[in-house]
Chain A
Amino acid sequence: MDDRLRETLSAMMDDEADELAVRRLLSFSDQDEVRGQWQRWQQIHDLMHGTGAAADLVSPAADVSAGVWQRLDGGVPASEHNAAKAAGRQRWHWPAVAMIAMALVVGFGAGSGWQSAGELELVTAQTTAEPNATATAASVSEVSLQGLDDRQRQQIHRYLLEHAQHNSVGAGRGSVGYARLVSVDTGGY
């Protein structure tokens, strides 16, 4: 976990983190690290506010959580559950990407009427002359996104989260990623 993410976690302690930041933290691959850091800062907070003595009663902090999951579903702690979930996602990663790529190609093809190679050259020549060409292509792509199922949407959502995270690392250049994320969110996340 880099310092930027830890700073976000610190802001979350103070109720000063936005929803995107919370999502970014919860989608971070090593949740044990997030938990460990959060737990230590909470202990410090408890110590500073006089509730630290209560921590003595709940012994190792992790045991409360482990005990909770054990009662709920026979002992699958969150870290293992999330690891299994992540493995499941990984398994679907490439097929999903391929399906999205295919959907985009089909969408674009349908939008342009599946012209032949000769016609395509003509269209390409026309496109360079048309100022609205880019906007048309974008709207066709958007239409094709609407046909995706939930899993594919989640895949895109994850991609955009990572994209936003990479952008945010670039010190203040995260606005593009965020704007795209919001546009997908309204589509059904």
Chain B
Amino acid sequence: MMHSILKRAVTQATEPASAGKPSMTSSIDQTAPDQGDSQTDLQLVRKVRNGDRAAFDLLVLKYQSRVASIISRYVFDSHEVMDLTQETFVKAFRAIDRFRGDSAFYTWLYRIAVNTAKNYLEARSRRPQSSADSADAENYDDGQRLRDIASPEKLLQRDQLQRALNKAIDALPEELRSAFLLREYDGLSYEDIARILECPIGTVRSRIFRARDAVDRHLGPLLNHSASN
């Protein structure tokens, strides 16, 4: 299993830049690297339990889009989605002491999101508009649903962002791009990437950071514009 992943990663890393270019039209959320049991999440949860609000803010920023995705399978009004997304995080914060770490934090959060949405619909005496539950939540392709309810301006903005992202990734030096894509798309650990690229782990860490920073600088104005609308 691991061998096949590494083999695929090596092939991808050694392909020409254009061939390794990510396809922005396909949803690859199911293979997202941070869908696993995140140590960072557990560290942040511990800090939240000790009263650190900044730690909870980082968790909110990390998961707000995914929580909104889940909720949008049940309600279609963007104000309601926003409202229930906030409600999900409020419930999570209040119940954080009851999170035992048996499952990944995101799984726990997703269950809260699903229950929040279902309870909301029940309270309004409406039948849930989707049969999705937390078990298949991660495998649900929400792209089309979200595209359906997004405004034309938002769609245009999103399209611009994705094209800019493609350009930014293409413009990266080869060694930065390889490390970055192996991490983002193949979800490999720094150790595995170091083995594939035959360089120290510290170098991998630095390359991924520099790649991320370069992409951020490239997209910066567009991201700020997106956040302010």
Q: Which residues of A contact B (CB under 8 A)?
A: 3, 6-7, 10-17, 19, 22-23, 26, 31, 34-35, 37-65, 67-69, 71-72, 78-79, 81-82
How far, in Å, is B109 (CB) from chain A's closest CB? Answer: 13
User: CA of A56 to CA of B159 in the docked complex: distance in angstroms?
Assistant: 12
Q: Which of B29, B62, B150 has the most CB of A within 10 A?
A: B62
24 contacting pairs across A/B (C-beta < 8 A): A10-B205, A11-B208, A13-B212, A14-B33, A15-B38, A16-B190, A16-B205, A26-B54, A26-B55, A35-B54, A38-B58, A41-B212, A43-B226, A50-B143, A51-B66, A56-B158, A57-B68, A57-B82, A57-B146, A58-B68, A59-B78, A65-B60, A65-B89, A82-B53
> A55 contacts which chain B residues (CB < 8 A)?
64-65, 68, 226
A64-B64, A71-B86 as given contacts; A78 in contact with B57, CB under 8 Å: yes
Consensus secondary structure, chain B interface? helix
> What is the CA–CA distance of A57 and B39 in the complex, to the nearest angstrom?
28
Which residues from B are CB-within-8-Å of A65?
Answer: 57, 60-61, 64, 89
Report the bound CA distance from A55 to B66 in whole Å.
8
A81 touches B44 (CB 8 A): no
Contacts of B162 in A (CB 8 A): 47, 52
Contacts of A11 in B (CB 8 A): 190, 205, 208-209
Contact of B72 among A26, A43, A57 (CB under 8 A): A57
Q: Which residue of B lies closest to A55 (CB)?
A: B65
C-alpha gap A61/B66 in the complex (Å): 12
Partner of B190, one of A14, A23, A43: A14
Cα distance A63–B51 in the bound complex, in angstroms: 21
* Chain B contacts for A23, CB-based, 8 A: 47
Distance, CA A62 to CA B55, complexed state (A): 14
- Bound complex: CA A64 to CA B83 (Å): 9
**A84 smallest CB distance to B (angstroms):** 11
A161 CA to B190 CA, complexed, in Å: 25
Residues in B neighbouring A12, C-beta threshold 8 A: 40
- Apart from A22-B47, A39-B227, A57-B68: 17 A-B pairs, beta carbons within 8 A: A3-B209, A12-B40, A13-B212, A14-B208, A22-B43, A26-B47, A44-B165, A44-B215, A49-B184, A50-B143, A53-B146, A57-B81, A59-B82, A62-B227, A68-B60, A68-B89, A72-B93
Q: Measured between alpha carbons, how far is A81 from B55 in the docked complex, in Å?
A: 12
